[in-house]
Each structure stands twice: as C-alpha cells, then as structure tokens.
C-alpha cells in the first residue's frame, strides 16, 4: 500500500490540486423555494430571495441601516431582563435560556431601540429580534417599549415599532401577559401627545404582541408575505372545525380584509415609511399650529 500513498497519491494531487477549505457561510438556502443564494448578494438585497421574492429574517442592525436616513442612528440602552422571576423550568431552566440567547445575539433581550431620522422626521424605532427566544415579549421587552414611548414624547419624535414575535414569553407567566396592557398604554401616550405611531409587521408577528400594541397603530404597514395573527392556523381550524381560506393570516389577506393599510416589499419600505411619517407629521403640525402655520391664537392688529 505504500506505493499508493507515496507515489500515486502525490501524482493525483499534482494533477488536480489539493482540496481547498471552503467556508460554509457563503451560501444560504431560501426557506420558500430552496434556491441556493450567495450571501453577499443576498445581503445587498436586504435578504430578499432573488428567485421567488421571499422575505427572510433581517437583523435589527440591518433593519436600522435600511430605514434611517443615510443609515445614521443612535442606539439607545434597553432594560435588562428580569432574571428568572418564577424560577421557571421546562426542558431547560429559563435562566439558562436567557444566558444562551444573550450570548448568541449579544443582546440583553429580544428588542433593540434606536433614534434617528426617517425622511427627515425624528423617529424612535423599536425593532424585535426573533433570534432571541423567538422575539417573545417579556418584562424587558415591555419596559423597552414603554421607554421608547417616553423617549418619543420627550423628544417630540415619531414612534415606529417592528414586531417579529411568537407572542408573550411563557417563562415569565403573568408578568409577560401584563406587558400587553402596558404596551397599549405606552402607545396611547404617544398618540395622545399628537405624535405618529406606526407599526411595521415583519414575519412572523403573532400571539400577545399582535393582541396588544401592534394592532393600534395610526398606520399598519406589513412586509410582503408576513404571517400576522394571534393563534396558529392549525389551532384555529381545530377549534372552529373548518378549513381556513388560502393565505389566511398572510399580510396580503389582511390587507384585503382591512386589518393592514399597506403591504410593501422590503426594498421599498424606507420610501413608503418615510412618506407615511411625512403625512402624519404634517397633520400633527396642522393640528397644533393651525391651518396657516400660525400658533392658532388670534393675532393682534
């Protein structure tokens, strides 16, 4: 066997060359059409499949770069997670799940806050991170949304939230469910201050997030093909014992039935969001300064 190893193999290697190590992160498969996509090209297209148009997950930082003017923004601090208040354990301890998600995402919890300008309008953005425990809403996420609302009012900015969530975080029990009314109140504070509150639905947005702040925006925008709902379609079918329509809970279906105002492709999201904020901002100015841009008070002549 030594002649094969010492003579034949070197000659073969000389002819075909040594096998080079190829990084395993150069390509990504589309979850919808299974096309193999070059990651560099995919990132340039904001992670939208060039073959079928499927909108993949977009990281919070990439989304900030997409929506803010010139990709310029300032990250704001997010509240720390409530560390396992119920000592919850399923297959793993909640404390261990938190540590693992924090290590993997380098985030405190499932939301990122930032401030900048969109179409020249000062804006506070709250972007969910689905990679952090499925974007579930616990105490820290609720506190972050309250903090974002307070910041919007204090700085007279618009508030835009990008949910991507499986719903309330079961490991925090009632504490997570209490974030539903808290976030609704936070949204109402922004609207009562006469400031724009816009929700941009991304895939997926479900459960307690949908059933709280996400459905009370001034305007509801959704990315193309996003799944939006409360319970899963299988649960609904088993409950009502009927087959649901095709595309049920998709953004396009909700648009047809009046629950969503706009469905947009990701590449056009910044332009669409900018136009919406401009209209809402102009309406706010008219309400607060009067039709002619004056203070609304009678002038002395």
Share of the chain above pLDDT 70, in %: 86
Confidence grade of residue 11 (pLDDT, cut at 50, 70, 90): low
Q: Mean pLDDT, to the nearest integer, of 286-292?
A: 54
Inter-residue contact 165 to 205 (CB < 8 Å): yes
Overall average pLDDT of the 209-223 stretch: 97
pLDDT band of 297, cuts 50, 70, 90: very low
pLDDT of 295 strictly over 80: no
Query: Residue 16: pLDDT above 80?
Result: no
SS3 of 137, please?
strand
pLDDT value, residue 171: 94
pLDDT of 239: 92
Residue of 19 and 117 predicted with greater confidence: 117
Predicted pLDDT at 286: 62
pLDDT bin (cut points 50, 70, 90) of residue 138 is very high
pLDDT tens-digit map of 95-125:
999 999 999 999 999 999 999 999 999 999 9
Please give the model's pTM, rounded to 2 decimal places.
0.86
Given this model, what pLDDT does residue 14 score?
Answer: 64
Question: Is pLDDT larger for residue 290 or for residue 236?
Answer: 236
Q: What is the DSSP string of 153-178?
A: HHHT-EEEEE--BSSB-GGGTHHHHT
Least confident of 60-69, 233-242, 264-273, 292-301: 292-301
Instruction: Indicate whether 72 pLDDT > 50.
Output: yes
Report CA-CA distances (Å) from 139 to 109, 142, 291: 10, 5, 42
> What's the confidence (pLDDT) of residue 25?
73
Average pLDDT, the chain: 89
In degrees rounded to 5, what are phi and psi of residue 264?
-140, 145
**Position with higher pLDDT, 24 vs 76:** 76
Residue, of 14 and 267, whose pLDDT is higher: 267
Tell me, what's the pLDDT at 80? 81
Instruction: Work out the pLDDT band at 300, boundaries 50, 70, 90.
Output: very low
Q: Is the per-residue pLDDT at 262 higher than 50?
A: yes
Tell me: pLDDT of 45 over 70.
Answer: yes
| pLDDT tens-digit map of 32-41 | 999 999 999 9
Mean pLDDT of 43-49: 96
């Amino acid at each position: 066997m030594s002649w094969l190893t010492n003579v034949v193999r070197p000659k073969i290697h000389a002819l075909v060359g040594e096998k080079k190590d190829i990084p395993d992160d150069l390509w990504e498969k589309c979850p919808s059409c299974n096309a193999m996509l070059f990651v560099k090209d995919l990132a340039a297209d904001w992670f939208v499949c060039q073959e079928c148009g499927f909108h993949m997950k977009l990281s919070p930082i990439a989304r900030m770069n997409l929506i803010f003017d010139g990709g310029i923004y300032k990250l704001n601090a997010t509240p720390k997670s409530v560390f396992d208040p119920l000592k919850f354990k399923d297959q793993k301890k909640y404390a261990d799940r938190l540590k693992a998600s924090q290590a993997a995402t380098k985030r405190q919890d499932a939301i990122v806050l930032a401030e900048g300008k969109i179409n020249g309008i000062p804006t506070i953005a709250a972007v969910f991170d689905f990679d952090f425990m499925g974007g579930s809403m616990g105490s820290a996420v609720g506190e972050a949304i309250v903090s974002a609302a307070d910041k919007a009012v204090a700085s007279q900015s618009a508030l835009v939230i990008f949910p991507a969530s499986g719903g309330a975080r079961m490991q925090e029990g009632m504490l997570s469910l209490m974030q539903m009314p808290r976030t609704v109140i936070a949204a109402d504070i922004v609207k009562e201050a006469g400031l724009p509150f816009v929700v941009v639905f991304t895939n997926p947005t479900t459960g307690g997030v949908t059933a709280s702040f996400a459905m009370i925006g001034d305007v509801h925008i959704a990315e193309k093909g996003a799944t939006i709902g409360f319970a899963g379609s299988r649960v609904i079918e088993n409950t009502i014992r009927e087959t649901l329509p095709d595309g049920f809970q998709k953004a396009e279906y909700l648009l047809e039935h009046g629950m969503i105002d706009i469905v947009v492709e990701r590449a056009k999201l910044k332009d669409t969001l900018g136009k919406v904020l401009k209209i809402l901002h102009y309406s706010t100015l008219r309400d607060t300064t009067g039709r002619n841009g004056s203070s609304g008070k009678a002038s002395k002549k």
